[in-house]
Amino acid sequence: MQKPSDIETLYIDFDSFFASVEQQLVPAYRDRPMGVLPLDSPYSGFIAVSREAKALGITRGARLIDVRKEYPGFPAAVARHDVYIGIHHKILQTVGQSLPIHKVWSIDEVECRLMENERANWLGLAVDIRDNLAREVGPYITPSIGFGPNQLLAKIAAEMDKPNGLVCLHPRDLPRALSHVKLPDIPGIGRSMRVRLEQAGINSVQKLMGLSGKQMRALWRSVEGERLWAGLHGYRTEKPQTERRMFGHGRILSPDWRNRAGVRNCAEHHLGNGPERRVRVRAVQSLCLSVRSCAPARTFRRLAGNKASTRAASSLGEYQYPRGRDEHPLCPHNGQSWHLYRAARRLYWR
The angle at the Cα of 232, spanning 230 to 234, to the nearest 5 degrees, equals: 70
From 49, 70, 68, 69, select the one nearest 58 (Cα to Cα). 49
Burial of 29 from C-beta contacts in 10 A (0-12 / 13-18 / 19+): buried
Characterise 73 by phi-psi region: left (phi > 0), alpha (psi -120 to 50), beta (else).
left
Alpha helices in the chain (DSSP H): 17-25, 51-55, 64-70, 81-95, 122-136, 151-159, 191-199, 205-209, 213-220, 223-232, 260-268, 274-279, 308-312, 341-348
109 part of the active site: yes
Four-residue CA torsion sign, 127, 131, 136, 139 = positive
DSSP three-state, residue 13: strand
Catalytic member of 109, 159, 224, 268? 109
For the chain, how many helices (H) and strands (E)?
14, 12
| Active-site annotation, residues | 109
